[in-house]
A and B are shown apart, each in its own frame.
Chain A
Amino acid sequence: MRPPVLEVRDLSVHFTIDTGRFFRHEYQTIKAVDQVSFDVRPAETLGIVGESGCGKSTLARAILGLVRPQAGRVSWLGENLLDLSEEAMRGKRREIQLIFQDPSGSLDPRMTVGDIVAEPLKTFYPSMTRLQIRERVQGMMKLVGLLPEQVNRYPHEFSGGQCQRIGIARALVVNPRLVVCDEPVSALDVSIQAQIVNLLKDLQKKLQLSLIFIAHDLSVVRHVSDRVLVMYLGRVMEVADRDEIYLHPRHPYTRALIESVPIPDPVKERERARRALKADMPSPMNPPSGCVFRTRCPFAVDDCAQSRPALQTLDSGRQVACIRHAEIADGQALPEPEAIDPD
């Protein structure tokens, strides 16, 4: 196996907020990302899933150096990005690009599409001539399925799906090696979403890109990813190959997530045994002791409150942070009867 392009080790991002009223300050720490470790291999797609507030977007921003982590390492091709000066980091940003969730909101409404796609080229390749830039931009537009004659149009003349194509062109125009996609299709309608998902997969293959695909939609993540990482309240719950994680989820949270997704088939959907999770996600300001998922976990026992479960690596390369994962997999552990929500 080729060495990973990106190695994230024990990365933590904490935010301090003031919850006091009026002139009394009460500072509290939110551990948005808490000791997260994972690898991204060359030309693979790593899907990151989790519910809102689980820290997936903060994680993306930390990788790109847009927020300052408290601790940990982000190694890009063996070099720790967190040690780099602002100047040196700018150079690396060419290699790591970002695609945003809101397709039209992330484009400057007063710039033409041509200028939007050309801007990263001007930043990273100042010696390119105007002619070279124009050729590259038009080639890029064709690659993402836009018409090159649309270069002089403005973002408002495009639909959401087309705006996302512009966003993709802008990210890819500088030949990045890793593209972080933060909810790239969640703002789009299903028929358009499928177009963009196909485009991303196609470009990844053509350009041998590594992708980090962040989404809350498990079905889309299953479709695009080679491996999947599941986050909850800032921590990694499980990492495994796509089919492994979807067919044989080991962590109770992964299981609950998969069971929660409605299936577009009335027969299957109505027959499914659903073990709805209890309650809502606890406040990230005041996470539960031990395993952060235990307050909603149908398999929780007293030990779960004692200490934070380590992210163990199993034989298959799967990683899981649950003290009961083996019993659960064997079917030995059954959910506590009173823990089953009557829903």
Chain B
Amino acid sequence: MALLEVRDLTVAFDTPDGVVHAVNGISFDLDPGETLGLVGESGSGKTQTALALLGLLAENGRASGSVRFRGQELLGLTTSELSRIRGSKISMIFQDPVSSLNPYMTIGDQLVEVLTHHRNLRRREARSRAEEMLNQVRLSDPRDRMRQYPHELSGGMCQRVMIAMGLLCQPDLLIADEPTTALDVTVQSQINSLMGELSEQSSTAILLITHDLGVVAGLCDRVLVMYAGQEMELAEVHDLFSDPRHPYTEGLLNSVPRLDQARSGILNAIPGNPPNLLQLPEGCPFSSRCRYRFDRCRERPDFERVSEGRYKRCHLEGIPEQADQGTTESA
């Protein structure tokens, strides 16, 4: 059985300008121990998907559909029911590590609180467990760190603390929302290898939200590509990179400048801009930017199975062979 089953999840926000359709009916499964990447550009709904899973949407947000965690429906649970799951069975780490920690509490107290709350450990046991965890995420001098406040630590150190806190209760699922985006590249690489190692050693499944395809390539088993709150493509990581089946995935891969390849003259940018979530287009949301657009794109395509473990939302049979210059400019 899948650890997490998301079915037809929609998230909408009531705003003074109208209803913002952030997530529009996405479905996916996550198996125990697996790392699934949720990829997309800003506004594609990846963060709202994660927040909806944990009942953390903003006040004006509404989620519908179904989210089953170990068979238990999460949508509609009360706050007290949810808080028994959050932090113990499912934990989350956020993009900005410094502001996710409480500035008034020492690192040690924040870690100990998690254990005394969820595991009913006594303080002394909790402290030694917390110290052990800090050691595991390779924070230097864990004992001294426990007495420090978040502002005394660098961004990379704070993110290690967040990871330690997320893993304290050995959760079944860790949701990591852009965990390294705010960090410098050398620190990012430290944190990524740490995450990779931890996911190998433990049986924790990871839902990794990121816009960085390089991070996805290094850490994920499967990848779900999102656009305008819908799934565009779902595939095993090697398949996705070597043989993208959705024009948006192809566009994303082509528009990234790469360090390992000699440069070509121009980058293959995807023309245009993402759609307005207040007024989603009728057909395929990507069609206005798609170079393979044809008549049928006016109808919304279904998210269909292509082969074992591969799904895509596109009317094209396959992406035409013509790896030539894409459109590069747009108005």
Contacts and interface: CB of A to CB of B under 8 A. Distances in A.
B221 to A, nearest CB: 10
A69 to B, nearest CB: 25
A201 B266 contact: yes
Interface stretch (B162-170, B253-261, B277-285): B253-261
Q: Which of B157, B194, B211, B263 counts the most A-chain CB atoms under 10 A from its CB?
A: B263
A277 B184 contact: no
Given A145-B329, A147-B331, A266 B217 contact: yes
A338 interface: no
Contacts of B274: 159, 189
Nearest to A52: B184
B74 to A, nearest CB: 30
Contacts of B238: 266-267
B128 interface: no
Contacts of B157: 280
A218 interface: yes
A256 B193 contact: no
Interface string A86-119: 0000000000000000000000000000000000
Nearest to B221: A266
B133 interface: no
Interface in A1-54: 51-52
Nearest to B188: A260
B215 A193 contact: no
Contacts of A194: 255-257, 267-270
Contacts of B259: 218-219, 222, 246, 258, 261, 263
The main secondary structure of chain A at its interface with chain B is: helix
Interface in A113-155: 145-147
A205 to B, nearest CB: 10
A242 to B, nearest CB: 8
Nearest to A191: B270
A264 B329 contact: no
Nearest to B248: A191
Interface in B79-129: none
Given A145-B331, A270-B218, A262 B189 contact: yes
B255 A264 contact: no
A256 B190 contact: no
A269 B214 contact: yes
Interface in B41-69: 41-42
Contact of A276 (B186, B258, B271): B186
Nearest to A277: B186
Contact of A263 (B154, B251, B260): B260
A190 interface: yes
B185 A264 contact: no
B251 A191 contact: yes
Contacts of B255: 190-191, 193-194
Contacts, number: 151
A37 to B, nearest CB: 24
Contact of B193 (A189, A261, A274): A274
Q: Which of A145, A162, A261 counts the most B-chain CB atoms under 10 A from its CB?
A: A261
A305 interface: no
B273 interface: yes
A250 B1 CA distance: 52
Contacts of A277: 186, 189-190
A263 B214 contact: yes
B241 interface: yes
A219 B253 CA distance: 13
A338 to B, nearest CB: 14
A315 interface: no
B237 A219 contact: no
A259 B251 CA distance: 25
B185 A257 contact: yes
Contacts of A197: 257, 267, 269
A269 B218 contact: yes
A281 B183 CA distance: 12
Contacts of A262: 188-189, 192, 212, 214-215, 217-218
Contacts of B179: none
B330 interface: yes
Nearest to A247: B262
A279 interface: yes
B186 A256 contact: yes
A342 B270 CA distance: 40
B75 interface: no
A258 B189 CA distance: 11
A216 interface: yes
A261 B214 contact: yes
A219 B330 contact: no
B187 interface: yes
B186 A191 contact: no
B132 to A, nearest CB: 17
A161 interface: yes
Contact of B42 (A189, A219, A269): A189
Nearest to A225: B263
A215 B138 CA distance: 29
B42 A198 contact: no
Given A189-B41, A191-B252, A262-B212, A51 B257 contact: no
Contacts of B214: 261-264, 269
B302 to A, nearest CB: 24
B140 A279 contact: yes
A75 interface: no
A299 B329 CA distance: 45
Nearest to A158: B273
Given A190-B211, A197-B257, A263-B217, 5 more contacts: A191-B289, A195-B271, A260-B186, A264-B241, A269-B214
Counting from the closest, the 4 A-B pairs by CB-CB distance are A262-B214, A194-B269, A191-B270, A189-B41
27 contacts: A51-B187, A52-B184, A189-B211, A191-B289, A192-B269, A193-B269, A194-B267, A194-B270, A195-B330, A198-B329, A218-B185, A219-B259, A260-B186, A261-B259, A262-B188, A263-B259, A265-B217, A268-B260, A269-B214, A269-B217, A276-B189, A276-B190, A276-B193, A277-B186, A277-B189, A280-B187, A281-B184
